[in-house]
Amino acid sequence: MRRHDLDWLRVLLFGLLVLHHTAVGFASFGASVYGFANDRLGGPAVDLAVYWSHTWRLPTLFLIAGIATWFATARGAGPRIVGRRVARLALPLLAGTLLLNPIAGEAIARMTGEARFAFVATGLPLVPYVPRNIMHLWFLASLALYTLLAWPLYLARPRLRFPALPGLATLVLATTAIAIVAKPWGAALAGNGYQFWWYGGLYLSGYLIGAEHRAILDWAARRVGWIVAAGVVLFAAEVAMIGAALQVSEARAAALASGGWAAAGLLPAYGATGAAFAAVEGLDAWAWALAALGLAARYLNRDWPRLRALSPAVFPIYVFHFPVTILGLALLAQVPWPWGLEFLLLAIATYALSWAGYRLIARRPVLNWLTGGPVRGRPPLARPDGGAAP
């Protein structure tokens, strides 16, 4: 089974990641994420665009990763298969953390005066501390953990019976319940806190969706207009609730967005405000994720030659792009140019240099493997595990 739409969606979402990470440097909260921001900011429109991207892009990627794992375990789930998948995540994680991300660490250190190689708390239950330079590669650490923790589910695959649409509704409610229960106690920024449990639920949901992927993705393609409308309404409600919290205090609004309001003593753990926001957030993520899957199934499930070039490049470009982004942001913060021009230049430079890095190592098997590229040549087009990328 070849799902060209999933390959295309993965390419587009990782491409959006470059714009997302670039835009964070021009957002009002950029300094709290990177430690520094540009000297000129983009204003509320940039803040809103970054927040909207953050609400659904990662949930969608974890769903796709789960679906990919369903296909990858079609011929079994023995130690060799699962071990290979974990290794394909762990090696780029280590290589990027030790060899590439120190470039970004040096830039941040020069801009903030902070330590370059300190270990930091993660908020992940099974990985309490990691090097600061793990940065954007936390995604690989979480996905490797989910891959191992879900092993019993892979072994149960021959006995799994998953009703398509009723099962999908159950998954939406179950993962939203995870957000409601966990979010008051664990603030999250990058897959830690409540997100560790929530994203794990989404990964497992993707695996189960894989069992009925035809029915579910076809349904999403037919109903995509209604799903997008639901996403617009839910996101508007999410923004309105944050706006209302801002009228009380910035700390209250920040706690709603990132979680941990009960741990900080700002709101009751399961009061109406916090529970309603967590529920809206969970449903909003599902709406936009299903909309993306539906649009891809409707318009992108075709064998285009461009996909053959882009699909193997996704994972290496993901590994390369963040150091380029941070270094470029640090350099541009020194010049008084309009923020829009700086954003455009940084985005173009990040795409170009990340692509150049991929092309440089593409024909060197060991280096290619260390950055997540295919071990030999190009992978089969639209193989459900993408050949490399999660």
CA pair distance 355, 78, nearest whole angstrom:
35
CA pair distance 178, 278, nearest whole angstrom:
9
Say how many Å lie between the first and final Cα of the chain, rounded: 17
Helical H runs in 183-313? 194-211, 213-222, 224-248, 250-258, 272-299, 305-310
Sequence-ordered list of residues with C-beta below 8 angstroms from that of 248, at least 6 positions apart, any chain: none
CA pair distance 83, 364, nearest whole angstrom:
23
For tokens 């993660």, name the residue.
122
Nearest to 286 by CA among 235, 251, 218: 235
What was the pLDDT predicted at 1? 62
Nearest to 120 by CA among 130, 110, 111, 112: 130
| More confidently predicted of 170 and 384 | 170
CA pair distance 39, 59, nearest whole angstrom:
31
What was the pLDDT predicted at 122? 78
**99-108, 215-224, 373-382: the lowest-pLDDT one:** 373-382
- 141-144 LR contacts (CB < 8 Å, sep 24+): 141/89, 141/93, 141/191, 142/191, 142/196, 142/199, 142/200, 143/62, 143/65, 143/89, 143/203, 143/390, 144/86, 144/89, 144/90, 144/93
| Band of pLDDT at residue 376, cut at 50, 70 and 90 | low
199 within 8 A of 390, measured Cβ to Cβ: no
**70-74, 225-229, 236-240: the lowest-pLDDT one:** 70-74
Q: Tens digits of per-residue pLDDT, 295-310?
A: 999 999 988 888 988 9
Q: Tokens for 355?
A: 């692509």
What was the pLDDT predicted at 375? 61
- E-assigned strand segments in the chain: 119-124, 127-131
CA pair distance 328, 63, nearest whole angstrom:
31
Distance of CA 370 to the CA centre of its chain: 20
Sequence-ordered list of residues with C-beta below 8 angstroms from that of 345, at least 6 positions apart, any chain: 328, 332
User: What would the mean pLDDT of 36-42 be, rounded to a whole number?
Assistant: 92
Does the structure show a pLDDT above 80 at 84? yes
CA pair distance 151, 211, nearest whole angstrom:
16
User: What would the mean pLDDT of 131-156 be, rounded to a whole number?
Assistant: 93
What is the biggest distance separating any 2 CA atoms in the chain, rounded to whole angstroms? 62
Q: Tokens for 264?
A: 């900080």
Nearest to 4 by CA among 293, 209, 351, 388: 293
β-pairing, 119-124 vs 127-131, is: antiparallel
- CB-CB neighbours of 20 under 10 Å: 18
